């Protein structure tokens, strides 16, 4: 095993993950990116999506939404509004949220209200990301 990088995922409700890992894959604002040990100092915003990390043979996925990540001193810190492991995701709730958001999008398409559409889009993204992660289990 080569060198490792420290991964920390911090949410408003507390630290979610804090361990040494081999590689981190994250949904960056301009596309997904991977971070290995001894990466140069780096700061990026995070989209709603899937964060995966590998530690030896173990592979874990997290659903993350909105925030940013910082790499410095061989440590990668994610500050996100929420982070959920596949096992913690309420699939039924996510499915319902997905349906609701889709319905809202259809409604919003008929009106010209920008704000509601944006909200529904974000909700849909979140629901889809949750479902994706829960399927990866």
Partner 1 sequence: MASLKEVKTKIAGVKKTAQITKAMNMVAAARLRGAQEKMEAFRPYAAKFNVTMSNLSGGANTTGFPLMEIRDVKTVEIVVVTSDRGLCGSFNANIIKLALKMRTEYESAGKKVSFVCVGKKGSQLLKKTGLVRKSYRDTMGNFQMYNAREIATDLASHFLSGASDKVEVLYGHFKSVAAQIPALSHLLPVQPVSVEETEKKISGDYIYEPSTEEIMDVLQPLYLNVIIYHAMLEVGASEHAARMTAMDNATNACKDMVKSLSIIYNKARQAAVTSELMDIVGGAEALK
Q: Which of 88, 68, 87 is nearest to 79 (CA)?
A: 68
Using the contact rule CB under 8 A, the part of the chain among 52-60, 74-82, 86-94, 104-112 near partner 1 is 74-82
- Judged by CB under 8 A, which of 21, 27, 28, 120 binds partner 1? 28
Grouping H, G, I as helix, E, B as strand and the rest as coil, residue 40 is coil
Q: Which of 112, 135, 32, 113 is nearest to 127 (CA)?
A: 135
Q: How far is the CB of 21 from partner 1 (least distance, A)?
A: 19
41 binds partner 1 (CB under 8 A): yes
Using the contact rule CB under 8 A, the part of the chain among 42-50, 52-60, 87-95, 104-112 near partner 1 is 42-50
- Judged by CB under 8 A, which of 1, 2, 30, 112 binds partner 1? 30
Residues 69, 26: contact at Cβ < 8 Å?
yes
- Joined together, the tokens standing for residue 115 give 């704000």
Note the helical H segments in the chain: 91-110, 114-135
Using DSSP bridges, classify how beta strands 5-11 and 75-85 pair: parallel, antiparallel or unpaired. Answer: parallel
- Judged by CB under 8 A, which of 23, 36, 37, 79 binds partner 1? 79
Using the contact rule CB under 8 A, the part of the chain among 4-12, 54-62, 91-99, 104-112 near partner 1 is 4-12
42 binds partner 1 (CB under 8 A): yes
């Amino acid at each position: 095993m080569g060198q490792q990088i420290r991964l920390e995922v911090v949410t408003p409700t507390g630290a979610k993950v804090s361990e040494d890992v081999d590689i981190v894959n994250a949904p960056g604002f301009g596309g997904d990116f991977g971070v290995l040990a001894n990466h140069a100092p780096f700061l990026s915003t995070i989209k709603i999506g899937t964060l995966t990390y590998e530690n030896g043979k173990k592979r874990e996925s997290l659903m993350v939404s909105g925030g940013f990540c910082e790499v410095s001193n061989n440590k990668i810190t994610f500050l996100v509004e929420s982070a959920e492991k596949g096992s913690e995701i309420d699939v039924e709730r996510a499915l319902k949220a997905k349906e609701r958001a889709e319905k809202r999008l259809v409604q919003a398409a008929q009106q010209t209200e920008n704000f509601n559409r944006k909200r529904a889009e974000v909700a849909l993204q979140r629901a889809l990301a949750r479902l994706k992660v829960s399927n990866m289990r």
